[in-house]
Amino acid sequence: MDGLKWWQKAVFYQIYPRSFADGNGDGIGDFPGMLEKLDYLRDLGIDAVWLSPHYPSPFLDCGYDVSDYTGVGPEYGTLEDFTHFLMAAHRRDIKVILDLVLNHTSDLHPWFIESRSSLDNPKRDWYIWRDGKAGGPPNNWASIFGGSGWELDPPTGQYYYHAFLKEQPDLNWRNPAVKQAMWDAVRFWLDMGVDGFRLDAIATIYEHPDLPDHTLPPEKLKTTTANGLTKTEYAQLMRYQTHQPGIHELMQELRALIDAYPGDRVLVGEDDNVAYHGNGNNELHIVFNFPLMLTEQLTPDHIRSNQAVRLADLPPGTWPCNTLGNHDTPRVWTRYGDGKNDAALARLHLALLLTLKGTPFLYNGEEIGMTNLMLTSYDQLRDTAAIRRYALMTGPQGLSHEEALLKVLNTTRDRCRSPLQWDASPNAGFSPAGIAPWLPVNPNYAEGVNVAGQSNDPGSLLNFYRQLLGLRRKLPALIAGEYLALNPESEEYFAFLRDDAASGRTYLVALNFSEAPQTAIFDLETHQASLLYSNQPRQDSLLDLEQLELQPFEILIAELDITKKGITSGAGRIKA
Ligand code: NOJ
């Protein structure tokens, strides 16, 4: 445990700045608001925050269209506000990492404005400009947000490439000047003291230089978004637009840059490709285990097979990183709930994240069980990717307004980005009464889904979060221990060991995902364990592992009674 870096021990909490806390009462979250809530975060028990983009942005991709990499969006405050926030977080032992959007800028970034101004502008080559072909775009590449990946710029007659929205032109990372400019921005924040970066969309940084057409049959793209495709089809579609040579070298450069700073700054990869760990010590420190959350239902089977593959795939010396939700995915409560046992399942999901091996990332609002926001009209949409999908559906695809609207309301990323629900007052205490927040507040704030109400309720989800986060800190093997799956045949409960040779402690974790009691029979070198935690009433603190009765939705953590502590480890704990 002592040999671990801070980011291996930390629990991260993702803040979506626009929706977290509105300090100046204009309907938009900001740094003064975040500053005020730092004590809340400290008391919750998290160790680090990841801020989604806080930079100046026309906000066409909710801030992932950056128009100034060394600034603060005026709606979020000033650079001084940012500094106050950073220092105040550090005073509370909370680290802060920023979102780093390398692949593209906003089309209103001065670099792009210059680049598009003429064919011979010195910044022309900072982006991917090409002549069209046969009266159309240079090739058939698609945008990840639907439609063509090319946009014609009539004044200069050329097309520019955009992996995401047309307002997010891709930078040309083969141009060394681009690299220098971006590394300067990275140094700017590191010099200010930020603790690292979450890297946005690194898979799309390079494109195949010869621009070969992809070979996915056009009818497969009828949906016009990549979403409707199978994994193989998507790989075929994106074959020349993602994971191109050069990314490893670029990540190595960035790693060397940040390693030159003191304090173990961290790089977190959005792209879950384990290859971006490099040799284990020269590219990204951690990358999200997205396959864990890419499932309709979090079943013990799914989790076990995910862990088996994931932990085997990680290059030696690297560290896992687990998450279940973020600003791009439906709310965890809604997605993995069954509509009946949602409260119990939400607790299991947190317990899972905090007991699996690896750094957990939580998303703001999960701690009070925020659910998907259901918007009701087109005008309420703020997610431009959804608006673009609507336009493609009602245009080329010929869907009616009603059909298209229903589809986008059911899929828009706005659903998980609504303002944080602080209390039961109007606007959930996010903004003052009478000020319309930038995205509607989920009405269930009035039904107990708010921080103030849950703070006072010992049985609330929020207090469960506090309790479990506190417990994790006290149990070193939950952080450092090796993971060993137990009873792989069990479909109802998920059980495993966290075995920590250094502290000589081995914990058993059993998570019963079922509403029925389960009997677990463990064949371990010891038959006894001492109860450390259960969310259900238990009479005995000494547990019989040859006949362990698990109550419905029980979360149980126990310490194996092993006399030869520290002598055997790993598989030695399991009887042959
Ligand atoms: C991934 C971000 O999480 C998402 O919100 C964004 O739209 C794309 N990258 C493009 O930057």
Task: List, for residues 522-550, the tens digit of each pLDDT value.
Answer: 999 899 999 999 999 999 999 999 999 99
46-65 pLDDT, tens digit each: 999 999 999 999 999 999 99
- pLDDT at residue number 576: 40
For residue 566, the tally of other CB atoms under 10 A from its CB is 12
Domain spanning 479-560: CATH 1.10.1040.10 = no
Amino acid (one-letter) located at 543: L
Q: Which of 19, 61, 144 to mutate to test the pocket of ligand 1 (most atoms within 8 A of CB)?
A: 61
pLDDT band at 112 (very low <50, low <70, confident <90, very high): very high
Residue 524 gets which letter from DSSP?
A: B
144-198 pLDDT, tens digit each: 998 899 999 999 999 999 999 999 999 999 999 999 999 999 999 999 999 999 9
For ligand 1, what atom is nearest to the CA of residue 326?
Answer: 3
Q: What backbone torsions phi and psi does residue 136 show, to the nearest 5 degrees? A: -135, -165
Predicted TM-score of the model (pTM): 0.96
Ligand 1 mean position, distance from CA 249 (Å): 22
Q: Is residue 565 scored above 50 in pLDDT?
A: no
- pLDDT at residue number 420: 98
pLDDT band at 323 (very low <50, low <70, confident <90, very high): very high
Q: Is residue 571 scored above 80 in pLDDT?
A: no
Give the closest residue to 550 by CA, choosing from 507, 516, 501: 516
526, two tokens: 């010891």
β-pairing, 95-101 vs 196-200, is parallel
The neighbouring-strand residues paired with 508 are 497, 558
Check: CB of residue 144 under 8 Å from CB of residue 164.
Answer: yes
458-509 pLDDT, tens digit each: 999 999 999 999 999 999 999 999 999 999 999 999 999 999 998 899 999 9
Q: Which of 60, 62, 64, 384 to mutate to test the pocket of ligand 1 (most atoms within 8 A of CB)?
A: 64
376-388 pLDDT, tens digit each: 999 999 999 999 9
Q: What is the mean pLDDT of residues 508-531?
A: 97
- pLDDT at residue number 572: 46
- pLDDT at residue number 564: 41
- pLDDT at residue number 45: 98
Which are the catalytic amino acids? 200, 270
Residue 147 C-alpha from the chain's centroid: 25
- pLDDT at residue number 229: 85
Q: Please give the Cα distance from 531 to 539 (Å, whole number).
A: 10
For ligand 1, what atom is nearest to the CA of residue 385?
Answer: 7
Q: Is residue 436 scored above 90 in pLDDT?
A: yes
**What does the domain layout of the chain look like in residue ranges?**
6-102+176-207+244-375+420-468, 110-161, 479-560
Residues with CB under 6 A from ligand 1: 61, 64, 101, 164, 200-201, 270, 327-328
Q: For 6-102+176-207+244-375+420-468, give the CATH class.
A: alpha beta
Mean pLDDT of the chain: 95
298-309 pLDDT, tens digit each: 999 999 999 999
Q: Which of 164, 165, 225, 288 to mutate to test the pocket of ligand 1 (most atoms within 8 A of CB)?
A: 164
pLDDT band at 123 (very low <50, low <70, confident <90, very high): very high
Superfamily of domain 110-161: Oligo-1,6-glucosidase; Domain 2 (3.90.400.10)
Q: Is residue 350 scored above 80 in pLDDT?
A: yes
pLDDT band at 566 (very low <50, low <70, confident <90, very high): very low
Give the C-alpha distances (Å, rounded to integers) separating 334 from 360, 366, 551.
Answer: 20, 10, 24
Ligand 1 mean position, distance from CA 428 (Å): 27
Residue bearing the CA closest to ligand 1, atom 5: 328
- pLDDT at residue number 516: 98
Q: Please give the Cα distance from 92 to 49 (Å, whole number).
A: 12
- pLDDT at residue number 505: 93
455 versus 218: which is more confidently predicted?
Answer: 455
- pLDDT at residue number 222: 64
Q: Please give the Cα distance from 531 to 555 (Å, whole number).
A: 11
Q: Please give the Cα distance from 498 to 529 (Å, whole number).
A: 13
- pLDDT at residue number 573: 52
Give burial (CB, 10 Å; 0-12/13-18/19+) of 115: buried
What share of residues in the chain are helix, strand, coil (percent, to 5)?
35, 15, 50
Q: Is residue 569 scored above 50 in pLDDT?
A: no
Ligand 1 mean position, distance from CA 200 (Å): 6
Q: What is the mean pLDDT of residues 103-113?
A: 98
- pLDDT at residue number 271: 78
